[in-house]
Amino acid sequence: MSEPSEPTTHFGFRDVPVGEKQKLVGEVFSSVAGNYDLMNDLMSLGVHRLWKRYFVGTSGVKRGDRVLDLAGGTGDIAALLHERVGGSGEVVLGDINAAMLGVGRDRLTDRGLVRGLRYVQLNAEALPFPGASFDLVSIAFGLRNVTDKPAALREMRRVLKIGGRALILEFSQVKPEWFRPIYDFHSFKVLPRLGKLFANDADSYQYLAESIRKHPAQDVLQAMMAEAGFERCSHRNLSGGIVAIHSGYRV
């Protein structure tokens, strides 16, 4: 009798053993860490900065809040949150990738942002914090790279205080049908070439484009949040659904 095959998951458009995805994603982000912000600007023509500002600006975060920013990468979201929580609050920047976390820490420190910031290397599927620790948990452009998304959503809810909010900013499903061929051309033809030209790494940016297409669509992710125990789940499309903001509360 043959041995049962190991469960698989997607890595871009490839199926890989579940146990390998975290390592493969780690290699991608270790490769792109040094050029991550430059490539984000090139990929989105700078629009990612507006998305992030809107994301934080509508978060409801106030002075004194304690916030966890998952997949915090190079620190863009953490810096914006830091402005809002003030000296009496705290922002914990968490990322599974040491290279990305190092870039974020160095960038924020160079800007003089030290007080009220902590950096933790962590896995979003098993957060190293007690329950009811944070007023807000955010994750921007990171959930699609998590192997077990339902586990990560349950962990986000667990560490929220009662009344706390989870916010997810992620690439999603483009809504205008006329725009989809243009978006596909940019994703699969232009993006890898930009990666090759500016970061000498076409493969990583091919994966990033593929990972966007494999991420759950807006309604599916909203249902996943409800299944994880969040209440008042909702989503809002930005730029015609190129990205969406998902919101849920712990009540």
Residue pair 152/143 in contact (Cβ under 8 Å)? The answer is: yes
Q: Which residue has the higher pLDDT, 227 or 36?
A: 227
Model-level pTM? Answer: 0.91
Q: What average pLDDT score do residues 198-214 get?
A: 83
Each residue of 140-163: pLDDT tens digit? 999 999 999 999 999 999 999 999
On the 0-12 / 13-18 / 19+ scale of CB atoms within 10 A, 16 is middle
Q: Residue 195: pLDDT above 90?
A: no
Q: Residue 223: pLDDT above 90?
A: yes
Q: Looking at the domain covering 25-176+205-249, what would its CATH class be?
A: alpha beta
pLDDT of 200 reads: 80
Q: Which residue has the higher pLDDT, 191 or 12?
A: 191
Q: What average pLDDT score do residues 197-223 get?
A: 88
Alpha-carbon gap, residue 224 to 191, rounded angstroms: 29
| Residue ranges per structural domain of the chain | 25-176+205-249
Q: Residue 210: pLDDT above 70?
A: yes
The answer to which of 34-43, 87-96, 189-198, 225-234 has the lowest mean pLDDT is 34-43
pLDDT of 3 reads: 53
